[in-house]
Amino acid sequence: MTRTVIAQGTFDILHPGHVHYLEEAAAMGDELVVIVARKANVDHKEKPICPATQRRDVVGALAAVDEAILGHEEDIFVPIEELDPDVIALGHDQHHDDAAIEAELERRGIDCEVRRAGAREPAAEDELLSTRLIIERILDQRG
């Protein structure tokens, strides 16, 4: 039986922190499906710069990812209901409330585990593991 893992995120400017998260998520099961957030659902930080289809395609090109799909525009749990995963892997610093996710999964009758990926330390002093920090450096150096 295939163990399906879902990871999700905005993935606006792909960086080594994203790759680490998705590789750890892939290691939690046999198949990794990544749900790429729609712009309308990004309300906890600045809206993404890149279009959703572009972000999906770039994430889908990573070796750790078996499939990348776009999230639902109104209800982020719809793709989870459709995929019926064994694990939902959250990034170590994602804003989600694990207990609230678990409660909503139970309410919808979805039996899966919620796990967090570990943090990744920068490999070099100047390595950036945050889209926000990448944008800030671009603006500082080229703005």
Residue 98 assigned to a binding site: no
Residue 11 assigned to a binding site: yes
Q: Which residues pair with 70 in a beta bridge?
A: 36
* Pure H helices in the chain: 16-26, 52-60, 78-83, 98-107, 131-142
Q: Which stretch of DSSP H or E encloses residue 126?
A: none
Residue 93 assigned to a binding site: yes
Residue 10 assigned to a binding site: yes
Residue 15 assigned to a binding site: yes
Tokens at 112, concatenated: 């899966």
Residue 131 assigned to a binding site: no
**Rounded CA separation 26/55 (Å):** 18
Q: Where do the DSSP E strands lie in the chain?
A: 4-9, 31-36, 67-70, 87-90, 113-116
Q: Which residues are annotated as a binding site for ATP?
A: 10-11, 15-18, 93
* Binding-site sequence positions: 10-11, 15-18, 93
